[in-house]
Chains A and B, each alone.
Chain A
Amino acid sequence: MPVNTKAIKGRIKSVGSTKKITKAMEMIAAAKMRKAVNAALDTRTYATLAWDLLVSLSKTQKTQLPLLAVRPVQKILVIIVTSNRGLCGSFNSNIIKKVSAQLKNPAHIAKQIVGDKELPGSENITIDVVGIGKKGADFAKKMNYNLVAAFTNMTDTPSVDDALPIAKMAIDAYESKSYDKVIVAYTDFRSAIFQLAKLRQVLPISEADLEKMITGKEDLEKQESKQKNLQEDTYLFEPNRLDVLQTILPRLVETQIYQAMLESAASEHSARMMAMRSASDAAEDMIKELNLNFNKARQAGITQEIAEIAGGAAALE
């Protein structure tokens, strides 16, 4: 049937151009991914070392600095790192699913762990959300969480300057006791095909969180060696303990937030690349099938025409 083949031809064309778009998006995402992954990996060493230092400081220091103070939790600040744009597979939905599951049961994340003891949170826990990326902000609005700030003008490769205002806000709020806990929800970059949504406590600085952070063997070994030298470590401070801690602690918190943003950026681009690759593959399959159908319809049309001619000739005889 000529009508049918025409319709199929139209579809092949439109699927083909969709495929071209997804292919182009895949290439772009791959290029951006390479950059973002490099940035994330390069910063990882710094962030891990900074985190080590942070944790050993918080262990050995009994000084009551506001950033180290552990209070019973009443108000929690959750910083959600998401992307600005969609079309990146389950990247955003994974992190949002993770966060909303945790927020439904705030008693769990409100627990404070001090040494071996657990400090339960108070009865009424209020949660405020900071959204980095449009999708996180939209999610908070939709779910009626109190969205205190949204940073939606992030670039593809965040710089330290992008992380500074967020870190400053969190630190100030924690110091002024408006929040008793600050959590960052981000996507940890494991490999190009696997990313993991994660929640991480940034403030108060806690050693318990370090265990959650362990990702592989390497980290495990590091942790063991660190535990060994922790016992003997009582740090000497120059010029003095208070000055040093006051300079270092905010920097370390900034680094953690910056790292979370880099990891998320790397994850976003990998997720988008994978999503676009599977879209291109699906388009390819679809085109194959449509081509088959098209050829079948064309052949059927020819066969029918011949049958008609043959039928007509037979009728004349």
Chain B
Amino acid sequence: MSTLKFKIVTPEKVIYENEILQVTIPTMSGEITILPNHIPLVSVLKAGEMRIKDKDGEQNLAVSGGFLEIRGNNEIVILADHAERAIDIDTAKAEEAKQRAEEQMKNLKNVQDVDYARLQAVIDRELNKIKIARKYKNLPNK
């Protein structure tokens, strides 16, 4: 059975790189699942949960923003703005960051569009992280 060469990178580092069987990705136009032999595709990510299935089981990542590129030869590259494994997420920190962003949002009275969009993106991202962390951290076998 053919596999996908999968790689997810953020501006900070390479998060995960492996041969995988399938991956489910949240995109702007809805969640998509990529299987091997997909045709070349470029799409935009949105904040959400990414599920990667490889030989050993399933990996769950919180991602937000960025894009994905599927190349013709079973290679898939994800350039994410932020990505974190569910088990690595620090819920307290995420909560804090979210509150900080919300506070800033309130304080900025005459916000510029760019600032507003940026803060909104931060809030979305942290909310997403919290949600995913809650979902997977409580599982006994994780």
Contacts and interface: CB of A to CB of B under 8 A. Distances in A.
Given A42-B12, A50-B79, A229-B73, A236 B41 contact: yes
A46 interface: yes
Contacts of A46: 9-11, 79
B80 to A, nearest CB: 9
Interface stretch (A108-116, A243-251, A309-317): A243-251
B111 interface: no
Interface stretch (B49-57, B64-72, B84-92, B97-105): B64-72
A244 B44 contact: yes
A237 B12 contact: no
Nearest to A239: B29
A45 B40 CA distance: 21
**Which interface residue of A46, A53, A243, A258 has the most chain B CB atoms within 10 A?**
A46
A233 B40 contact: yes
Dominant SS among interface residues on chain A: helix
Contacts of B66: 251
Interface residues of B, number: 27
A5 interface: no
A251 B59 CA distance: 27
B20 to A, nearest CB: 17
A234 interface: yes
B9 A238 contact: no
A160 B69 CA distance: 22
Interface string A227-242: 0010011111111000
B135 to A, nearest CB: 26
Contact of B44 (A160, A232, A234, A248): A248
Contacts of B40: 232-236
B72 A258 contact: no
The listed residue with most A CB atoms (<10 A of its CB), out of B41, B42, B71, B79, is B42
B77 interface: yes
B19 to A, nearest CB: 17
A236 B42 contact: yes
Interface string B1-45: 000000101111110000000000001110010000001111110
B71 A229 contact: yes
Interface string A191-228: 00000000000000000000000000000000000000
Given A236-B39, A236-B42, A239-B28, A53 B79 contact: yes
A232 B72 contact: yes
B4 to A, nearest CB: 14
Nearest to B10: A46
Given A49-B77, A237-B43, A238-B28, 16 more contacts: A42-B12, A42-B13, A45-B9, A45-B13, A46-B9, A46-B10, A46-B11, A49-B69, A49-B79, A235-B42, A236-B41, A238-B27, A238-B43, A243-B44, A251-B66, A251-B67
11 contacts: A43-B11, A49-B7, A232-B72, A235-B40, A235-B69, A236-B40, A238-B28, A238-B32, A247-B67, A251-B66, A255-B11
Interface of A: 42-43, 45-46, 49-50, 53, 57, 160, 168, 229, 232-239, 243-244, 247-248, 251, 255, 258
